[in-house]
Amino acid sequence: MNRPGEQNRSPLAGKRVSIRFCGGCNPRIDRGQIAGQIREFLTARGVDVVYNTDAADVIIYLSGCPADCAYRYSDGGSNIPSLIVRADTVDGITVGTGELAAYIAAKTISYIERPETSTK
């Protein structure tokens, strides 16, 4: 039985997602805009979004071009579920630029709900 006020709590509440950025030297996407859209989508579902830290349930490595510096220059050895964004690809799958933020947010939620299915 739920305690008073708990019945409407999102199962995602209390989860934490970190967005790690590259340096932005050759962006093919607007990393700031995409990160803002991801943050808006996830926070509306109770997820806490932070930046450039490994203290999270899922990490999004957000690189503006295929060089993938966000992941390449990170520690990258953690066992934290992660998504690797290289311009308009997410984990090697090409996604339309206008659909990128929604795709990343949806995939992030699936990793939070089923972390055993996520890979690097």
Q: What is the pTM of this model?
A: 0.86
Do the bridges between strand 58-63 and strand 16-21 make them parallel or antiparallel, or are there none, so unpaired?
parallel
Sketch out the chain's domains with CATH numbers.
16-114 (3.40.50)
Q: What is the reported pLDDT for 99?
A: 96
Q: Which of 73, 56, 75 is nearest to 21 (CA)?
A: 73
- Alpha-carbon gap, residue 9 to 86, rounded angstroms: 34
pLDDT of the residue at 93: 97
Q: What confidence tier does 118 reach under pLDDT thresholds 50, 70, 90?
A: very low
Name the token pair of 86.
């290289």
SS3 content of the chain, % helix, strand, coil (to 5): 30, 20, 50
Of the pLDDT bands very low, low, confident and very high (cuts 50, 70, 90), residue 117 is very low
**Phi and psi for 31 in degrees, rounded to 5?**
-60, -40
